[in-house]
Amino acid sequence: MNPLIKKVIMIIAPENFRDEEYFHTRESLEKGGIDVFVASTAKTAISSIEKKQVEVDMLLDDVTDHYDGIVFIGGSGAQVYFNNKTALDLVKQFNGQKKIVAAICIAPMILAHAGILENKKVTVWEGSGSDIKDFGANYTGEDVTIDENIITGNGPKSSYKFGDAVAKALS
């Protein structure tokens, strides 16, 4: 691997992740020159709408901090990570190193559960706006919100914009 090329690890649920949030975000990142690696709790993940299968590069337990950023993809399946110790520890580790920590749709709730959103401006799927405030976050309702190294997107319609923001922050 070329050390000059930025690398991100995308975390997807083993099932029921949003197609647009994964495929469109990945497309934006790759267009931005970012190498994308995918992790999940299963070697093959199944998307929510189109039932596409995605082969993952590694299991969540094998993810290290050798990446420049971590990106959590939403969809109802992302809730599996709300109380997943490995996922929450990775969020804290990347954030502690001021690396990019990004999440879209319902996935910013993973960041909330990791305890990194206190007094941070964030967006999230509109149905979770009040929930994220309970964790001390300042909910913006925007398509994409950036607060220092934390980038959040509110859902499928923002996937390209979210991916572009992550790619720009990494370049």
pLDDT score at 168? 97
Q: Are 27 and 162 in contact (CB under 8 A)?
A: no
Task: Work out how many domains the chain is built from and give that number.
Answer: 1
Phi first, then psi, for residue 66 (nearest 5°) are -80, 20
In a domain, 43, yes or no: yes
In a domain, 85, yes or no: yes
What is the number of alpha carbons within 13 Å of residue 11 lying toward its C-beta? 32
Contacts of 5 (CB under 8 A, 6+ apart): 33, 34, 35
In a domain, 2, yes or no: no
Average pLDDT per consecutive 10 residues, the chain (171 residues; last block may be shorter): 84 95 97 97 85 92 96 96 98 98 98 98 91 96 97 97 97 88
In a domain, 112, yes or no: yes
pLDDT score at 2? 64
In a domain, 100, yes or no: yes
Q: Are 47 and 19 in contact (CB under 8 A)?
A: yes
Residue-range definition of the domain harbouring residue 40: 7-170
pLDDT score at 1? 55
In a domain, 1, yes or no: no
Looking up residue 21, the CATH number of its domain turns out to be 3.40.50.880
Q: pTM surpassing 0.85?
A: yes
In a domain, 63, yes or no: yes
